[in-house]
């Protein structure tokens, strides 16, 4: 929800875009095409009754995400720790089982 929330506020010209927390929270941002391919692979190979995580398996700080967006979209932003908490410090998917069982290998970088 971080990306969609930021994009909504950028689109509607919030100035500055206020980012909740200090930007240090680490998140796993997966591209929809990579996840869709993972779903197709799960249908094709099956998961042997296991749950598999589909993500990028790469952690990026919210600050890095904002800076990456700002590298190709012109907007002002500020981090504000008084509005909302930063959230859980780190959420990164372990995709090792998906790699093993369904040959899942996401390829899209954060910038792409």
| pLDDT, position 67 | 98
Task: Find where tokens 């981090």 sit.
Answer: 79
Q: With a cut of 50, list the residues of the chain below it in pLDDT.
A: none
Going along the chain from its start, the domains and CATH numbers come out as 2-102 (3.90.25)
| pLDDT, position 83 | 61
- pTM for the structure as a whole: 0.85
Beta bridge partners of 59: 28
Q: What is the H or E stretch that residue 61 is in?
A: strand 59-61
**What backbone torsions phi and psi does residue 77 show, to the nearest 5 degrees?**
-145, 160
| pLDDT, position 91 | 93
Beta bridge partners of 56: none
| pLDDT, position 50 | 96
DSSP string, 62-110: HHHHHHHHHTTS---EEEETTTS---SSEE----HHHHHHH-------S
| pLDDT, position 86 | 63
SS3 at position 65: helix
CA-based Rg of the chain, rounded to a whole angstrom?
A: 16
């Amino acid at each position: 929800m971080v990306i969609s929330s930021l994009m909504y506020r950028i689109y509607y010209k919030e100035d500055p875009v206020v980012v909740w927390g200090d930007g240090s929270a680490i998140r796993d941002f997966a591209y929809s095409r990579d996840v869709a391919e993972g779903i197709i692979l799960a249908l094709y190979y099956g998961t042997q009754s296991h749950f598999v995580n589909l993500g990028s398996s790469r952690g990026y700080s919210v600050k890095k995400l904002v800076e990456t967006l700002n590298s190709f979209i012109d907007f002002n932003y500020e981090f504000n720790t008084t509005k909302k908490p930063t959230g859980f410090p780190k959420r990164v998917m372990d995709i090792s089982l998906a790699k093993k069982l369904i040959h899942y290998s996401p390829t899209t970088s954060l910038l792409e």
